[in-house]
Amino acid sequence: MRISSLEKYGLRCMLALAKVGPDGQLSITEIAEMEGLSVPYVSKLLAILRKAGLVGAVRGRSGGFSISRQPREISLYDVMSSLGGPLIEQHHCQKYTGQLPECVHIENCSMHDVFDDLAGYIREYLSETTIEELTSGKMDTLVNRIRQFDEPGSSNVTSSKDLLPHVPDSTENEMKGTTEDVG
C-alpha cells in the first residue's frame, strides 16, 4: 500500500478548500502558496477533483475553486479514490500471477483473505472519515474509531492482529532472512 504524491497533495488541496467552506473560494495561486506547491501541479490536482465532482470552479477575476458539498458530506475515500483509485485493490492477488495466467494458489491462498480483509478495512475507515473531521480538530473521533477495531466484535476484523498472517513456529526459523516477494 502506497499513498502517491497526487493523493497526498490532492487531499491537502481539498482540506484547504474545506476550511473556507462551500461558500468560500480560493484561487489556484492561493492554494499553491498555502501548500507550497507549484501552480501547474495544483491546477492538475483541482482538475481531477473537479472531474470527480468534489470541487467546483467559478471563472473570472473574482473566481476560484470551492468544495462542492459540505465537508461533513465528503469522505476521505471520495477524495483518495478520485485521485488514484483504491489504496489496496480487492482481488489484489489476481494481478500477481507470476508467469502464469492465474495464481497457482488461487484455490488455497492464505494471503488472499488477508489482502481482501485489509482492503475492506481501509475502505470502511476512509469512507467513515470525513473532511470535516480533519479540518475541525475532531481527530479524537478518528483515534477512537481506530481503537474500535481493536475491540472484539466491532468489525469483520476482530483485532488488528488478525490482519497479519500467522507463521507457524516450525517455519519461523526457515523464513528469517528471506526477502523474497510474495503475493
Per-residue pLDDT of the chain (183 residues; tens, 9 = 90+): 678 889 999 999 999 999 998 889 999 999 999 999 999 999 999 999 999 999 999 888 878 999 999 999 999 999 999 998 766 665 666 667 778 777 776 677 777 777 778 878 888 888 888 999 888 876 665 566 666 655 555 544 444 444 333 334 433 333 344 444 444
Query: Alpha carbon of 128 to those of 11, 14, 125, 171, 178: distances in Å?
Result: 16, 17, 5, 39, 37
Report the half-sphere exposure of 20 (CA within 13 A, side-chain side): 18
Domain 5-166 classified CATH 3.30.460.20?
no
Q: Which residue has the cell 483515534?
A: 143
The predicted model scores a pTM of: 0.68
| DSSP annotation string for 123-160 | HHHHHH-BHHHHHTT-HHHHHHHHHHTTSTTSSSSS-G
Q: Looking at the chain, how many residues does it have?
A: 183
Within 8 A by CB and 6+ apart from 20, the residues are 26, 66
Where do the domains of the chain lie?
A: 5-166
CB 82 within 8 A of CB 49: yes
